Amino acid sequence: MTKLIAVTACPTGIAHTFMAAEALKKAAESKGIEMKVETHGAAGVGNALTAHDISEADAVILAVDIDVDEKPFAGKPIVRSSVGDAIKKPAQLIEQALLTATDHRKFEQVDEGKTADAYERVAQEKAKRQAERQGVYRHLMTGVSFMIPFVVAGGLSIALSFVFGIEAFKQDGTLAAALMQIGGGSAFALMVPVLAGYIAFSIADRPGLAPGMIGGLIAANMGAGFLGGLVAGFLAGYLTSWLNRNIRLPKSLEGIKPVLILPLLSTLVVGLGMIYVLGAPVKWLMDALTSWLTGLSGTNAMLLGLILGLMMAFDMGGPVNKAAYTFAVGLLGSQVYLPMAAVMAAGMTPPLGLWMATQLAPKRYTLEEREAGKAALFLGLSFITEGAIPFAAADPLRVIPSIMLGSGIAGALSMGFGVSLHAPHGGLFVLFIPHAVDHLLLYLVAIAVGTIVTAFTVNLLKAFQQPIRGKIDESQTIS
């Protein structure tokens, strides 16, 4: 019996990771294939693959948007994809894995030596080219995935300090001051170094971690913000990787290269580069961006909110969505809070709107979609945009434009109302913290309007639909 294994991992590790795992398992089960999927979620590794699982597997599927350790799979045929592809077309990935496994066995049967080795070289070269195409985004998302827990913990700690008053933290020795120290003075202080460090780690493995973090800390101390962290992270990663390839030492000294020579040389170059060359212009750019954002009002503010909203709904947790979220999160460290509010409102709107749509016109949805609508309500309230994916996958031409319209309006209204949000996650539940969000009622109006627009738009489009997905079974409709 054919056996497959897989690993799924997304930057936040909240929804996409587990949706991809479930989709792959269902697709494998429908084909009578045994499959085990390891998930790299926010809480750590789940359903971990053992050495026995790997040795028994005919092929490996890596559906990941961040870097994962591939060393345990050495010698196994590997199919690589994004998490989104695993959710949208799991059956195709299963077929691809089966074909790859078959090809691998053929090469091994022909010649257990040279031909198998040649196959491995071809496969590795192909994987290298694919990794290079996805490189910058994957490295960035790896950094973001490690940064997010610091941002969430810091942002919520800051929000909790506001429970005692918006300026209560200024009184030394108070609980509000302690919470602010935890959030703003510690967690947020680590945000940029962690981002830079793990971008470099993704590129150059362990030798890149120290120069990346140190470069990120220098950037943060210089006031270059998250832009400086990005520059330091990529510089440290690619520099360390280049040094690793080009520095040749006797075998007796190879052991000191990753722990002494590479971190030291890269740290010196990155540190001096940030201090004397790159830090000042990046700080100027960050200051200009901050000044522009804080000065936005009226139409300009609404236009930015519209763009962020459209991005949040476009791929529901994919690269475009993560770009908008990363942009807003990065600005929190510079005390720019309006984009974060717009992004959260726009991210909540798609699943909330689709839940409302299933309630308003249940006969236009299958029983499975109506059940997904119930789950979408709680996902939307929790700011998990991925709750809209089952609907978008089933009917993308109607659902995606509808949720983009609703999210764009929610984001535009949030920015237009001047709503600021100090917490980077939590959805509706963080709104109960006093002073965590300014103009709370107007913020709820923005979310409600976006939800209503999404619901009415998608139902309007479905009212005129032809049986593109096939006629809905009457036995599944509510009378």
Catalytic residues: 10
Task: Give the helix ranges, DSSP H, for 275-366.
Answer: 279-294, 298-314, 319-332, 338-360
| Pair 15, 387: CB distance under 8 Å | yes
CA dist 324 and 170 (Å) reads 32
Q: What is the CA radius of gyration of the chain?
A: 24
**Whose structure tokens read 């520095």?**
247
DSSP 77: -
Q: Which helix (H) or strand (E) holds 5?
A: strand 3-9
User: Cα separations (Å) of 419 from 156, 334, 388, 416?
Assistant: 17, 16, 25, 8
Determine the Cα angle at 147 with ends 143 and 148, to 5°: 120
CA dist 190 and 184 (Å) reads 10
Structure tokens at 209: 């971690």
Could you tell me where the beta strands, DSSP code E, fall in 10-162? 34-41, 44-46, 59-64, 78-81
295 exposed, middle or buried (CB, 10 Å; 0-12, 13-18, 19+)? exposed
Task: Give the helix ranges, DSSP H, for 382-439.
Answer: 389-394, 396-416
79 exposed, middle or buried (CB, 10 Å; 0-12, 13-18, 19+)? buried
| Pair 64, 7: CB distance under 8 Å | yes
- Please enumerate in sequence order all residues whose Cβ is within 8 A of that of 277, keeping only pairs 6 or more positions apart, or say none: none
HSE, side-chain direction, 13 A CA sphere, residue 322: 23
Structure tokens at 53: 């699982």
| 142: phi then psi, degrees, rounded to nearest 5 | -65, -45
How far does CA 165 lie from the centroid of its chain? 33
CA dist 348 and 377 (Å) reads 9
User: Cα separations (Å) of 288 from 293, 295, 334?
Assistant: 9, 11, 12
Q: Which helix (H) or strand (E) holds 155?
A: helix 114-161
